[in-house]
Each structure stands twice: as C-alpha cells, then as structure tokens.
Structure 1
Amino acid sequence: MTGSTDEDVKVLHSMGYAQELARRMGGFSNFAISFSIICILAGGITSFPLAMATGSGFEATIGWLVGGFFALIVAASLGQIGSAYPTAGGLYHWSSILGGRGWGWATAWINLLGLIFVVASVNVGVWLLFRDLVLAGVFHVDVTAWTAVSDPLPAGMTAEQAAAINNSAYVAQVVAVCVITLAQALINHFGIKLTTLLTDFSGYLILVVAVVLTLTFLFWGAGWDFSRLFTFVNNTGDAGGGYVPAPRPALIAFLVGLLYPLYTITGFDASAHTSEETQNARVAVPRGMIHAVLWSLIFGFAMAVSFVLASPDLAATAKDGGAAWFNLFTNLPAPLILKDLLAIGIVVANFICALAGLTSTSRMIFAFARDGGLPGSSLWRGVSPTWRTPVAAIWLGAVLSVAATLYSPAFAALAAGCALFLYVSYAMPIAAGLFAEGKSWTEFGPFRLGIWSKPFAVITVLGVLVLMYAGIQPPFDILINYAIGLVILLLVLWFGVESRRFKGPPIGADIARRAAEIAQAEKAVGETA
C-alpha cells in the first residue's frame, strides 16, 4: 500500500477507519513533532518569569524537575494506550473505547480547546519574541508603540496616553498573529511532507540553540552560586513585579509555579494525533511521546539552571515581572552576533512549535468530525486527494486559534489555559483505562507499563486535580469563566442533543459494516492496496 505499511493499515482497518492520510512519517519525525510542540525555547523562555514570580530559583529548577517527571509519567501512561489504539483521534478515541462515548465526546472538546490554546499562546509568544528579540534587539527598531504598558505607568505618562499605546499594541498583536497563523496553515495545507521537513529540522534546531543558549548564559553570566538553585523565595505580590498580583501562601505559590514546566512540556499528544501518518505507529507513537518529554526535561532543566545562575540579582529578576528573561538576555555581555543568531533561532523554533501545534489540532478536528462529533462534520472530515491533508480542519483550527487570542489576549492566561485543558484531557483516557484495564480493556500494544500502569494512572489523576486548582489562581482566574462555561455547555449539549445523536467511534459489528465505506474513502484519495 502506497506510503504505508501493511501492518499499520491492517490495525487501522481493524478499528473501522480508512487510510486517508499519507503515512510518510518515520519514528524520528513522530518524535520531532511532539518535541517541536513542547519546544523548551517557547515556554521555557516565555514562562520563566512565572517561576521567578512564584518561587525564585527553586521554582525554576526543582519545580521544573517535579513538573517534568510528572509529565513523563503522563506521557508513559498515554503511550501505553496509544500503542494499543494508534489513531488520529488519539485521546478522544481512547476515552470513547475505555470510558464510553460520552466520556470520549467530552474528552474531544476539552482536548480541542487545549490544542487551540497551544497554537494561540505560542503564536502570541512568537510575536512577542520577534518584537523584542529580533525587531528591537537585532534590527534596533523602536517597538514602543507596539508594547503594552501597565500600572504603575511610566513617569509623565497619562492614562489616556497609556490607553492609546495599549490599543496600538493590541492591534499590532492581532495583525501579527493573523499573518503568522496564515503562514502556518498554508504550510500544513500543502502536505505532511513539508510539515515533517520543518519539524524534523526544528528537532535539531531546538537542541542546538538550547545547548548554545545554556552555554552562553553560563560562560558570560554565571556567578556559580549553586545555593540559589535550592532556595525558595515566595515572590507572589509586589516582590514578583505583580506577575502573580496577590500574595499567596508558599505552597500555593509553588503549585502555581508548576505551570512553568507544565505549560512548556505539553502538546506531546501530537505523536498520537499523527498516528495514521506514522509508520510502525504502535511502537513509534509511545516512543515519540516519551522521548520528546524526556529530552525536553533534561535540556530544559540545564537551560533553567543557566538562567538562574546568570541572574545578577534574583530579587531584581523576580521584580522584572514579564520582562525578566528579556532583561537577562539583553544585559548578557556576550558577542552581539552570537546573541543575534540565538534570537533568530529562538523565534524560528517558536514559529515551528505553533506550526506543529496546528498540525495536531487539525488531526484532532479531522478525527472527531470523522465520527460525526462536530457540527458540519462532513465538511471538517474532508481530506484533499492532492495533498492528503485534512485541509478544512487545518483552516478551522487556524481560525479558532486566532479567535482565542482576541478574547484572551494576555499571554499568561492563554498559557495557563493550554496547560490546564490539555492535562485534563490527558487524564481522562488514563482514568478510564485505570478502571477498564483487565476488564473491558484486554487488547494491548507492544508498549506496556506492566505493574506501573495503575500507579502511574493514579498519579496522573491526582496530579491533574492539583493542576486544576493551581490553574484557577490569580492571575489565571479568567480560566474559571472558560471552565464553568465549558462544563455547562458540554452538559447541556450532551444531555440535550448529543447523547442521542452521537454514536462515537465504530465498535463491534459496526467495524465490519464499514468495509465498503473504507474502500471507497481510500479510493477517493488514491490509496490502493
């Protein structure tokens, strides 16, 4: 079968789905797409101020390890399920099989919201990094009119002047995010091969830039005071520049600070969402997720250590608020050409990070629509015979991600929403598997956790409950509106309409009855046995 292995297609057919997408990704490419979305050069930089504003050096280093090891447990748990059910729907499909169609339907919507927040938050970050590191730093453009101001206002600035600047900054961000997202959608539109080339390149780029960036901070900035790596200082409130506006107890500050690693190390479900485009998926998907998290954990930790050691004054760095990392980088006495190259590399890596996020989002939309889960499903499930990509789903994902930045333009809220909703969606199939394993779940893939399966599932569920609590603390309390609204909407839709309409993924006799439909779908995109 063109572009795929017989075994992969056989497994896909056994779950009632046609091989419509082009199976052109190898094991490294499957790893690279998750590694690109995690992108320690994205959240590892843009969310660094959150670590400093909650627990200082301890939060940035030890907090990173705590959050990273939790992410590794979640990735291993998802990998076990993905090895058994390698489909583009990923989490949605797994939750439906293990926990029922209603549980799967809810998982789909929560995962989709989290994925939209990934693309939205990273693209806002792309603009901010491009503005401050490249336009201002490399080309010395005056970006004052595109940079929002907040209280307390600079000396001599009136409230009216501040409002005008903030409006200009908002318009500039909207235009920039639209242009960035348009480019990413076009790349995704024209085939998985082009996307894979860029995400493969990004895998190497992230490693190289992260290593060089770490060495640069250590060589030109480090004071080698290792005690600051283990010293916790509660910087919530004014001590952290108001990044976390109200003073919070130390334990709450530490939990909120865990959003630093958990926002960064997320999106690794991309390996699962591209299952139907990956060769030897039952092995490659769990390996891709786990390796993406593991290497991000290791290199991200080294990078965080270098930032902390290079801070001339941790209290002053925390006080810098959202500008903490930018000020560190700007004041680093490294060669200008080196800093310019690093700045460009960081922005390119962030752009590809969101590009991979849009790939993952579009596959989720495609898979959910394929089973009739979305309004207008027949449109969103379409695959281009020319490019073998779900083009309508790609453009829908692009539009929704831009819309998310219009409603919630604050980067911090978008980042927290990304971590919160994605990890909740990760926990849902894992929780279902906890109760189904050995009962209704008896078919497993080559990757098994064995005796660690249920303990890892329990840790995942408890950890996500803690994350949910941290994710609704100020300044992220805007997410309460999202969460409450989403829960109410899902309950109304499910019990009002979807419980009777939505059938979920094919099971049992439905799979056998889809044989003719599978053949017709594969013929339509030119896939022949």
Structure 2
Amino acid sequence: MVTLWLGCTVFAAVCTLALLLARAAERRTGLSLHQPLHNHSEYVRYMRDKHDLNAFGFAQQLPRHMGWPSAAGMAASSLPLIGGAVFLLGPAAAAGGPAVIGIGWPLLGLFGLLTASSAAAFASTVPTAGGCYHWAMASGSRRAGLWSGWLHAAGSSLLLATTNLYLADWMSRTVERHFGYTGGAGLFYIILLMLIITQAAAHIRAIRLLGRLMAWTAAAQLAAAAGMIAILASIAWPGIYPFAILAHASPAWTASAPPDGGSSSALLGFLLLQRLFIGICDGAQAGEETRNPRIALPWSIYLSTAGLAIFGFVLFAFIILHARIGAFGLTAMPALGDWLTDIWARWGQPCEALFFAMIVFLAWANGASALGAGARTLFAMARDESLPFAGKLSGVSALYRSPVMALVITAAGAGTIALLAAAACGAATGGSSLQSQTPQLVLLSIAAMHAAYAIPIGGRLWRTLKESKDSKDSKDSKDSRLRTAGRKRSKTHGPWELGKYAGTVDGVTVCWLAISAISAVCLLKPAALLLAAVCLTVGAVAIERMHRSLRRKSPFKVVGSMRFGKRSMDECIRIERKFPQ
C-alpha cells in the first residue's frame, strides 16, 4: 500500500506540475514579442505565418487549413487514450499486474509531461514540417538532424504498422464473435490493407476534411471514456471498489501470468503503456499547415499530454477496478479489449455497434496521425536535399496540396512491415502468435522515437550548459561580453518557453528518453535485436555518406537567424504562385 500511495502522490504532483508549467509558459508568452493578431483579418494572419516560414527558406506549399481545434485534435489523435484501453491495457496489466496503473502510469504521466514541455518549446521555436529533424539541426548539427529525422521516420512507420496490426486483429475477431462471419486470415489481411489504403488516401486527397475530422477526435475520446465509465459503474453498482488492487505488482493476480515473470515482465508492461506517450510530437509536423503555429502547436502538444496523463489514470484505474466485479467479470487480462466490447452488448446491438465504430475511428485516426508525421519528416528532409530521389519525395501535388510521394512511400513501408510481421507471426492460424509478438514492434518504435527526440533536446541542453559555463568563466572584459551577447542573440527562442525551468526540464527529459530507449532495446528478442542492429548499421553508413555530400553545399545557418532552406524570398514567392491559398 505504501507504493500505491506513492503513486497517488506522484499523480497529484503531475496535476500540480501541469498547472505550474502552463502558468510559466503563459507568462513567458505574454512577455514575448509575438503578436496573435486577433483583431486583424485572416489574410493578415496568413501573411504573417507565410513570411515566418519564408524566413526559414521554405515556400508555403502545404495548405494552412488547421486552426486551434484541428491542431488540438491532431495532437489528441496521436495519443490513443481509448485505443490504449482496448489494445494495450490488458497485455500491460497481464505482464506487470495492476501496479502498472497504480504506480507506473503516474510516473509515465510525469515524464510524458516533461517531454511534452521540451517538445512544445521546440515546436514554438521551429514550426516547420520537419519536426525533430529541424530541431536537431537548430540545436546541433546537420549530422544530428539526419539521425533524428531518419529515426523519427522509422519510428513513425513502426507506429503505423503496430496500430494497424492491433486494429485489424481486434476488428476481425470482433466481427467473427459478434456477427458470425468467419473470414479467417483472409478477413484479417483485407482489413489491414484497407486501413493502410484509406489512411493514405485521406492524407492525399482529403487533407482538409481530415483536418476537420481530427478536430473531433478529442471530443470523441472524452465521450468514449465517459461512456466506458458509465457502463462499468452501472454494472458494478452497488459494489465495493477495491482500490488496493492497484498495488498488486504480481502478474498472478491476472490469472494469466507470463511464463518468464519477474521484473522484466513488469518493465514490459510499463513500456507497453509508454506507447501511448510516444506520439507526443506528431502534431509538431503540422507546423506548416497550422495557423499561428508558434502558439497553437505548443499548447496543443502540452495540453493533450496533460489530458492523457490525468484522464488516462482515471479511466484505466476505473477499468482495472471493475474488471473482476459482477457476472461480467474478467477472467484473463489479455482479453480486456474483448471484454470492454462485450459489456456494451447488454445495452443492445445499436450501442455495441456504436462502440465498435468509435473504436475503429479513433484507432484509424491514430494511425493516420503517425502516417502524416512520418511522411512530413520525409518531405522536409527531401526538400533539404537530405534524401535520395529528393526531387520526387519533396514534390507537392498542386491539385491535392499534399506531399503525395512521401505519403505513398511511408504508407508502403509501414504496410510492408505490418504484412511481414503478420506473416511471420502466423496470422493464418488465428493470430494468437500475433498478439504475443506485436509488443516487439512497440519496443522498437519506443527506442527509435525516443532516440529521435533525445538528440535535439540533448543538443539544446548542451548549448545551454555551455553558455552558462562560459558566462560564469568569462571576465568582465568588453570582448568577452560581446561574444557572450552575440551567442545569445544568434540563438532563436519561441514565444512558448519555460524560462528558468527550461534547463531542468530538458535535463530530466533527456535522461528519461535515454533510459526508456535502452530499456526497450534490452527487452527485444534476439531476432528483433539482430534485425534492429542490421538496420542501424546500414542507416549509419547511409547517413554518413549523405552528410559528406551535404558538407560541400551551402551552410544551413545564417548568423542572427535560423535558416534551413537555400531559397530567397523571391524564389519562395514564385513557387507559391503554383499553390494559391
């Protein structure tokens, strides 16, 4: 019980810290020179955002169609609250016991909030489609940008493949159990392919409609969470709510203990829930499609993460506490997703169909968010000529206003990973092996995404510490003061920042990202570890070759500002004439 109360204390600290950091960011935003221009026309606000992008050396090719609601929906869709309850909560609790919620989730929420704060500050400073790729270039070097960009693209593909695998498996099993259609492996593969195709088609041909749909995802997640709590409360009422269950760390409580057990199982359960937080920065890739991105993007990233940490604890704890109560009690934790679906059947088939459609939509939106983030990273790297076939990958359709080739390549890569994983796990035999092997893809995505985030945040922390050390060691000479002032002037800052707390937050975030990435690698099975090592070696060779070729080109930084592209303002305007807003 002591550890459970410690977890509750950490959760209370998360709620308090969320308010304190938000207040600090709001105060710094008010002191900045950034003007929201609320009293001006939409054209004036658009021109401000366009010229801001032109200052980085990029033309406004993508449509600036997303406001604050769409940006918040994009960030919320990358954090799968309801999908996590259906797909990941059961396997996580089966591996580590209910303590992964009572103790683990508050810790995840704490570090997730700190990571979101560091990412939000970067999104306010460099609001481009490159995301952490450009963040790493701004805080470090071109080589750091290449590593961060490639890791993020690989992690996004793994996220998309994993999400679609979980969703296709759950949909095929639900259709077979509730509708009596036994399609077998053929049904699974058809659903998997349709998910990937529809996600890519929505990004290519209906990007504006997708932005509007994303605006509804946050409300849909809250409605689904409230519906789950209401249904569970009605089933168990009146009943006893054994809060002490959340202190059980033994998987034996779940009646389905994994064969290995031990601390590795608890760590696996902890990292499976970590999957819900690794989409924190996905919304940042929409920087060139969001109005007033220096304010809208950071707040959407920060508030979505804070909402996930707070509401996720309430929802998941409520589900775990009710899982063994009443005639509809659960007997095996891995079947938690099926149990959540079955309890809606007592309210009638229309209610069950509505829940099924809502889960499909929210999980599909999560996959679409991962696809968009990975494709825009490839698009940004190709636009900087940092990829092979850059001319093709950086192309934007004048008709659909989307990076078509980057989307197709990302969807094809993720689809290939999903199909190979399904075939290797034996989806044709019912998919039992699929549910046990898919966590390996989750661990790979955690390692790749956390490494991609750690590179730019670590670079900014190193620069901050170096500037602090130089300022302390320097004497009061005029030349020394001028050098220090010049370095500070050349470093850009966004309007959303944490001020004096920024260094501490970045330091804790880098340590957390490194530890969680290493832990994920340590839990990989030999086959997955060997495959990851081969891919990393090939990627390292390709990155070094590309970096050598890029060193002979013009630098990407200009003194006094941050500039990534080589195009002048006139060149940007000529390009933008083909893409009228």
Do they superpose with TM above 0.5?
Answer: yes
Find 2:360's aligned residue among 334, 341, 347: 347
Identify if the C-alpha distance between structure 1 residues 395 and 290 changes in structure 2 by more than 3 Å, giving closer, same or farther.
same
- Among candidates 449, 461, 464, match of residue 498 of structure 2: 449
User: C-alpha separation between the residues in 1 aligned to 2:128 and 2:325?
Assistant: 49
- 1:246 maps to 260
Q: How does 1:139-154 map to 2 (within 5 A)?
A: 140-143=179-182, 146=184
The one-character-per-residue Cα deviations of 1:158-210 (angstroms, maximum 9, x if unpaired) are xxxxxxxxxxx3x5433321111111111111243111121112222111111
Q: Deviations over 1:140-159 (max 9, x none)?
A: 2244x63xxxxxxxxxxxxx
Distance 1:267 1:186, change over 3 A: same
Q: Which amino acid aligns with 1:506?
A: F
In structure 2, C-alpha distance between the alignment counterparts of 1:386 and 1:186, rounded to whole Å: 14
Aligned to 2:574: 520
Q: Which residue number corresponds to residue 217 of structure 1?
A: 232
Paired letter, 1:354:
G
Contact 1:53 1:319 in 2 (8 A): no
The AA in structure 1 aligned to 2:168 is: W
Map of 1:418 onto structure 2: 445
> Which of 95, 99, 104 is the aligned partner of 2:145?
104
Following superposition, the deviation at residue 507 of structure 1 comes to: 2.1
TM normalised by structure 1 equals 0.86
Provide the secondary structure at the position in 2 that maps to 1:38. Answer: coil
- In the alignment, which of 521, 541, 550 is matched to residue 501 of structure 1? 550
User: Is this contact kept in 1: 2:120–2:297, CA < 8 A?
Assistant: yes
Q: Report whether the alignment pairs 1:233 with 2:250.
A: yes
Asked if the contact 1:35–1:203 (Cα under 8 Å) also holds between the matched residues in 2, the reply is yes
Cross-structure match for 1:160? none
Distance 1:104 1:317 in 2: 50
- Structure 2: how far apart are the matches of 1:78 and 1:277? 18
Write the distance in 2 (CA, Å) between the matches of 1:132 and 1:504.
Answer: 55
The one-letter amino acid of 1:375's match is P
Q: What is residue 59 of structure 1 aligned with on the other side?
A: 100
Q: Are the equivalent residues in 2 in contact too, given 1:52–1:235 (CA < 8 A)?
A: no
Question: Does the aligned pair in 1 maintain the 2:140–2:459 contact within 8 Å?
Answer: yes
2:378–2:406 Cα contact (<8 Å) kept: yes
Q: How does 1:63-212 map to 2 (within 5 A)?
A: 63-133=104-174, 135-138=175-178, 140-143=179-182, 146=184, 169=185, 171-212=186-227
Where 1:47 maps in the other structure, the secondary structure is helix
CA apart distance, 1:519: 2.2
Structure 1: gaps (5+ residues): 147-168
Q: 1:198 to 1:301 in 2, by over 3 A?
A: same
Range 508-517 or range 277-286, more displaced: 508-517
Q: Is 1:312 matched with 2:324?
A: yes
**1:239-388 aligned within 5 A:** 240-242=256-258, 245-249=259-263, 252-312=264-324, 320=332, 322-327=334-339, 329-330=341-342, 334-337=346-349, 338-388=351-401
Judged with a 3 Å threshold, the aligned counterparts in structure 2 of structure 1 residues 496 and 254 are, in CA distance, closer, same or farther, namely: same
Q: Is the 8 A contact 1:241 1:320 kept in 2?
A: no
- Structure-2 change in CA distance of 1:336 and 1:172 (3 Å): same
Q: Which runs of 5+ in 2 are unaligned?
A: 1-41, 423-436, 468-486
Distance of 2:144 and 2:230 partners within structure 1: 46
Aligned to 2:27: none
Q: Quick check: 432-441 or 66-75, which moved more?
A: 432-441
Cα 1:487–1:4 change in 2 (3 A) is farther
In 2, the alpha carbon distance for the partners of 1:33 and 1:13 equals 24
Whether the 8 Å contact between 1:124 and 1:173 is mirrored in structure 2 is no
Cα 1:255–1:460 shift into 2, 3 Å: farther
One-letter code of the match for 2:176? A
Seen in structure 2, the aligned counterparts of structure 1 residues 76 and 109 have a Cα distance that, compared at 3 Å, is: same
Output the amino acid matched with 1:60: I
- The amino acid of 1:327's aligned partner reads W
Letter in 2 for 1:271: G
Identity of aligned residues (%): 22
> CA shift at 1:313, angstroms?
7.9
Deviation at 1:226, TM superposition (A): 0.8
Amino acid of the structure 1 residue aligned with 2:261:
P
After TM superposition, list the pairs within 5 Å mapping 1:24-35 onto structure 2. Answer: 24-35=65-76
Cα distance between partner residues in 1 of 2:507 and 2:530: 28
Instruction: Determine helix, strand or coil for the equivalent of 1:526.
Output: coil
CA distance in 1, matches of 2:214, 2:192: 20
Give the number of aligned pairs. Answer: 495
Distance in 2 between residues matched to 1:132 and 1:3, nearest whole Å: 52
Residue 407 of structure 2 corresponds to 394
Q: Distance in 2 between matches of 1:505 and 1:389?
A: 28
1:87 is paired with a residue whose SS is: coil
Amino acid at match of 1:23: R
User: Does the residue aligned with 1:508 lie in a helix, a strand or coil?
Assistant: coil
5 Å-filtered alignment, 1:463-482, equals 463-474=512-523, 478-482=527-531
Q: What does the per-residue CA deviation read over 1:435-479, in whole Å, with 9 as the maximum and x for residues that have no partner? A: 123557721011111222122112122212221233134465554
- Alpha-carbon shift at residue 18 of structure 1 (Å): 0.8
- TM, length-normalised to structure 2: 0.79
Which residue type is aligned with residue 298 of structure 1? Answer: I
The answer to whether the Cα contact below 8 Å between 1:65 and 1:297 also exists between their aligned partners in 2 is yes
In our comparison, the structure showing a higher alpha carbon Rg is: 2
Moved more, 222-231 or 443-452: 222-231
SS at match of 1:301: helix
Is the deviation greater in 197-206 or in 320-329? 320-329
- What is the deviation of 1:223? 4.4
Query: What one-letter code is carried by the residue in structure 1 that aligns with 2:535?
Result: L
Shift of 1:256: 2.3
AA of the residue aligned to 2:580: G
Q: Which amino acid is 1:218 matched to?
A: A
Does the Cα contact within 8 Å between 1:3 and 1:22 map onto a contact in 2? no
The more displaced of 91-100 and 386-395 is 386-395
Report the Cα offset of residue 260 of structure 1.
Answer: 3.0
Change (3 A) 1:335 1:475: farther
**CA–CA distance in 2 between the matches of 1:513 and 1:205?**
42
Distance 2:497 2:218 in 1: 26
- Which residue is equivalent to 2:20? none
Shift of the alpha carbon at 1:25?
0.7
Deviations 1:250-292 (A, max 9, x none): xx44332222331012223222100100111111111010111
1 CA distance for matches of 2:116 and 2:554?
A: 25
